[in-house]
Amino acid sequence: MHTKSIAEASFAYQRRLALMRRVFPRPIRRAIRTCYFLALDGMDLCLGRRKQLVPPRWLNPIGDGSFESAGDEFLGYFVNMCGLKPNARVLDVGCGIGRMARPLTTYLTTGSYKGFDITPAGIHWCRGNITPRYPNFRFTLADVRNREYNPAGPVQASEYRFPYDDAQFDFAFLSSVFTHMLPSEVSHYLEELSRVLAPGGNCLATFFLLNDEARELIASGRSSLPIALPMEGCWTTDLKLPETAVGYDENRLFFLIQSKGFVVESRAYGRWCGRSKYQSYQDILTLRRAEARV
């Protein structure tokens, strides 16, 4: 699937999800979604369409786009935008069900991969299906509280210490992680990224960046996510459950990133707010860890 097609699929999915949020309460939405994907998984099993390293659809907490195509899309960004090498030491923050790990299994020929996530089902699946085939791929459960994905977690994201030594990684990435985190949590995760990345190491992260263009598109009703409700330091689509989708003022975010010891290397705007010219669905930033920590 072409990158633009993946972004369009995500855009359409979020539009449908916004409509469902207005019609059905959250438990009913989740029940409908689970039943639908369980039926599709049953069809895949009966028709012999299940693939190695591709989890059943009901495990996917997002549900948009192609699992394989989205992973391949981001591998291209890792290589072309960040210069990822096959011998790199890689950290996947928010590894989920292995969407990004799958294409890296064949790319990191002499490198290593470590990922952590807050959803037990995803970590269990990755440990059982990826690590036995690729021992250099390791997955860790981080029991961090998030009202959207892990409401019973005992540890606040703003206090969680990544379970890795200083300067352990050459490259780190966060796909659709900061888009579900509040300001104090984003600030702390940037500090942890600065700690575990080696000097000169690279990071790729996705955001919902709020600037004049994005705000105009949201106000016009063209956005798939109306991130317009203000909170302290951010904006959201839902004040009762702000982690559903969180956006940040672009200039203020860049100042925060720089204060944590990073240089913003590039930005690529996404389709999420209704742009006609875009790179992916979410906005993408590439960062470089300064040679000396702040």
- The pLDDT of 10-29, averaged and rounded, is 68
Predicted local distance difference test score (pLDDT) of residue 10:
79
Q: Which residue has the higher pLDDT, 134 or 24?
A: 134
**pLDDT over threshold 90, residue 136:** yes
**pLDDT over threshold 90, residue 6:** no
Give a three-class secondary structure readout of 166-201: CCCEEEEEECCCHHHCCHHHHHHHHHHHHHHEEEEE
Predicted local distance difference test score (pLDDT) of residue 36:
58
Predicted confidence band of residue 64 (pLDDT cuts 50, 70, 90): very low
Predicted local distance difference test score (pLDDT) of residue 291:
79
Predicted confidence band of residue 286 (pLDDT cuts 50, 70, 90): very high
CA–CA distances in Å: residue 128 to residues 13, 227, 272, 291: 29, 37, 34, 38
For residue 192, which of 94, 265, 103 has the smallest C-alpha distance?
A: 94
- Rounded Cα–Cα distance for residues 141 and 131 (Å): 14
- Give the DSSP H/E element, type plus range, for residue 77: helix 67-82
- Rounded Cα–Cα distance for residues 95 and 101 (Å): 7
Predicted local distance difference test score (pLDDT) of residue 3:
64
User: Are 102 and 181 within 8 A, CB to CB?
Assistant: no
Q: Which residue has the higher pLDDT, 112 or 8?
A: 112
**pLDDT over threshold 80, residue 148:** no
Predicted confidence band of residue 47 (pLDDT cuts 50, 70, 90): low
Q: Which stretch of 8-22, 61-75, 109-123, 160-174 has the lowest confidence by average pLDDT?
A: 8-22
Q: Give pTM, 2 decimals.
A: 0.88
Predicted local distance difference test score (pLDDT) of residue 149:
77
Domains and CATH numbers, the chain: 66-289 (3.40.50.150)
- The pLDDT of 163-185, averaged and rounded, is 97
Q: Which stretch of 101-110, 139-148, 163-172 has the lowest confidence by average pLDDT?
A: 139-148
The overall average pLDDT reported for the chain is: 89
**pLDDT over threshold 90, residue 163:** yes
- The pLDDT of 195-217, averaged and rounded, is 98
- Rounded Cα–Cα distance for residues 154 and 138 (Å): 23
Per-residue model confidence as pLDDT tens digits over 215-274: 999 999 999 999 999 999 999 999 999 999 999 999 999 999 999 999 999 999 999 999
- Rounded Cα–Cα distance for residues 235 and 257 (Å): 18
Q: Which tokens in the block code for residue 261?
A: 């010891």
Predicted local distance difference test score (pLDDT) of residue 63:
47
